[in-house]
Structure 1
Amino acid sequence: MRKVALLITLALAVVLLSLDYSHSFGGSYAYYVENWDEIGIPNLVSAILAGWRAYDSLGEASLLFTAVIGFYLLIGGKKK
């Protein structure tokens, strides 16, 4: 189980280190205004919430799952 936790930690580190953290100019407003036909949602606020809240919720669920697994491993796993 510790090998799996180490593998997940290393994979997460590789993903985080490979991301581009440079500042993007224009932001989400410019993107949504330029690609209005592709979005298909008439309200800008609703478009942003529908487009990004799913990723945010997925990240929160992943964080919670990782915390629970880490705590489980920290207390010694299943007692035999």
Structure 2
Amino acid sequence: MKKAGVVITLALGIVLLSLDYSHEVSGSYAYYVQNWGEIGVPNLVSAILAGWRVYDSLGEASLLFTAVVGFYLLLGGKKK
């Protein structure tokens, strides 16, 4: 079992070392500023929260809801 862990760790290390970590200088700030108008919100921070981050928040809320419902069903639902 230890050999499999060593092989997986080495394989992961090789993959991570072979990746290209170069990035563009502009970054996400330039993207937000350039595409600010498509949201229609006058404030940049509100535009980011309302336009792009809403999908992330919706995913987190649905994941939390699913976890709560699953835990409720795991405990046996409503007791009579």
Greater relative contact order (Cα 8 A, min sep 6): structure 1 or 2? 1
TM-score when scaled to structure 1? Answer: 0.47
TM-score, scaled relative to structure 2: 0.47
